[in-house]
Structure 1
């Protein structure tokens, strides 16, 4: 605990030539460990304030476990599950709409905006994969891959922002849901601070990040590398609105290095972000602005 030395007190400081000297005024002494603890508290307060601000601007968020590998699942199923996760109740895993009304199997077609046969296929796939469980009249529950409420302090989760996820999903046709699903499947490879698809997602220094090539990304998703161009169009064409501006789901920034021309893929942080400092990604926001072709 900090303590006060009264004026007139004699002290013997360390690493000072003078043996001792008298304090002329009252002094508040704080140890190095207390100063470090104070710094951690202030950093946590700034982080929490930033998260609250971003949550308010984006209509809240749901979490996805960043360590779960969903690459073996149908990307359309994953995209639809991520959308459904925005209807999660806090700390219960139950999907609900309106004033706490449970979402049931019969609701899937209307909520997901897909045909009844497609809704049945989605239900069976999600159920078989263990990503959804059916509790009858209590409704559908989603696995803890997605959750709302208290999160671990280890930073192994990423936020999916509710308003923008819903807006993007509603703009996609039912046969395009896989495009959003691809990005959700790639969350384990999104750098937490810089939102770059890379080999080292927990690297905090931007200069040390190892971006994934388009073929490398296809490999992570078990896609044919010869379809890299088609995949590029799939993740850059979806559009949503934030702050009154149309934005892309992903942006590809070309660079020229000693190893030749390379592309760096950024995921829009207004949809998906797991970092602690949103100001780090605000500088790339211009890359996501949808442009009218002309």
Structure 2
């Protein structure tokens, strides 16, 4: 059923199919805000810096890089390592060991190395009158944003969203630390608009984008071309592949799954990740 309304300025009679009162519109907008908050809460993420792969990170093995990326998914809005952002106290060494599925001795060795490289630091903090020794990750490597958060004004144009639940689930499903280190190394190449791995990931002109070749990626990984190709074709979680490979003519293009790694601000259009969802059931 349509209704007629008069435009007060022009006097024109307009026929519309539906309308909302001011109160209804305000209620609708509030509902959409709540939906957005719920959606963000269901898909929390940490920003991982793309330009952090020189210096300290170059001293880490793929396995150590994997452990470090996993640690990033446990930071709160001050970059303190906690079981989750709402946890009241920091994770103890034994908690980190449990989360990474390694021994206390191994995690101590790892933390000492990361601290020596200034990738993490430790501080004594006081919460509700009790003292705790907390692990913090240097914000040059990762950070989270939120209203009133310490890094809320930090720029994200050279950072990639790592979806926390996705990466943690992938690890629980059997993705190995060295595999996650492989994933971490690709973050520096994710193109802003397409999620393709590119030599020039900041290029906004699609026609000028130069995709990263399999040979160049293998060189970065310190693996053979064959091993790199197998890795791209094998890494999976939740019934999806972590990377997609598309050949156009002689050019092979590699794309990161946006349900795990995503470059742009805001929510992504599901068509960007359609090839990872189609025929997965």
The TM-score normalised by the length of structure 2 is 0.71
1:59 aligned partner = 43
Moved more, 71-80 or 185-194: 71-80
- Gaps of at least 5 residues in structure 1 are 1-24, 27-48
User: Which residue matches 1:127?
Assistant: 115
Distance change in 2, residues 1:151/1:162 (3 Å): farther
Q: Distance in 1 between matches of 2:120 and 2:91?
A: 12
TM-aligned CA deviation for residue 196 of structure 1: 0.8
Q: Which residue of 2 aligns with 1:186?
A: 186
Q: Distance in 2 between matches of 1:290 and 1:100?
A: 42
Q: Which structure has the larger Rg over C-alpha atoms?
A: 1
**Alignment-derived partner of residue 102 in structure 2:** 114
Q: Deviations over 1:77-111 (max 9, x none)?
A: 22222222222111x22111263221122322211
Contact 1:87 1:95 in 2 (8 A): yes
Do the aligned residues in 2 keep the contact of 1:249 with 1:267 (CA within 8 Å)?
Answer: yes
> Does the Cα contact within 8 Å between 1:71 and 1:185 map onto a contact in 2?
no
Task: Give the Å deviation of 1:201.
Answer: 0.3
Q: Which residue of 1 aligns with 2:69?
A: 82
Whether the aligned pair in 1 keeps the contact of 2:246 and 2:254 (CA below 8 Å) is yes
What SS class does the counterpart of residue 118 from structure 1 fall into?
helix
The secondary structure found in structure 1 opposite 2:157 is: coil
Contact 2:258–2:273 (CA under 8 A) maintained in structure 1? no
For structure 2, list consecutive stretches of 5 or more residues without a partner in the other structure: 1-8, 11-32, 125-131, 146-151
Q: Which has the larger displacement, 207-216 or 277-286? A: 277-286
**1:41-91: CA deviation from partner (whole Å, max 9, x where unpaired):** xxxxxxxx8xx579627521111122211344222222222222222111x
Q: Deviations over 1:2-31 (max 9, x none)?
A: xxxxxxxxxxxxxxxxxxxxxxx89xxxxx
Aligned mate of 1:143, from 116, 120, 138: 138
3-state SS of the aligned residue for 2:73?
A: helix
User: Matched residue pairs, number?
Assistant: 230
Change (3 A) 1:120 1:276: closer
Q: Could you tell me which residue of structure 1 aligns to residue 80 of structure 2?
A: 94
Q: Residues of 1 paired with 2:278 and 2:236: CA distance? A: 9
Under a length normalisation based on structure 1, what TM-score does the superposition of the two structures give? Answer: 0.69
Do structure 1's residue 240 and structure 2's residue 237 form an aligned pair? yes
Distance 1:117 1:233, change over 3 A: farther
What is the CA–CA distance in structure 2 between the aligned matches of 1:124 and 1:204, rounded to whole Å? 40
Please name the residue that 2:28 is paired with: none
Matched, 1:105 2:93: yes
Q: Tell me whether 1:286 sits opposite 2:275 in the alignment.
A: yes
User: SS state of the match for residue 126, structure 1?
Assistant: helix
Aligned residue number for residue 44 of structure 1: none
Q: Which residue of 2 aligns with 1:4?
A: none
Indicate whether 1:254 and 2:254 are aligned. Answer: no
User: Could you say which residue in structure 1 is the equivalent of 2:257?
Assistant: 268
* 1:277 Cα deviation from its structure 2 partner: 6.6
Take 1:186 and 1:71, find their aligned partners in 2: how far apart are those partners?
14
1:196–1:265 contact (8 Å) kept in structure 2: yes
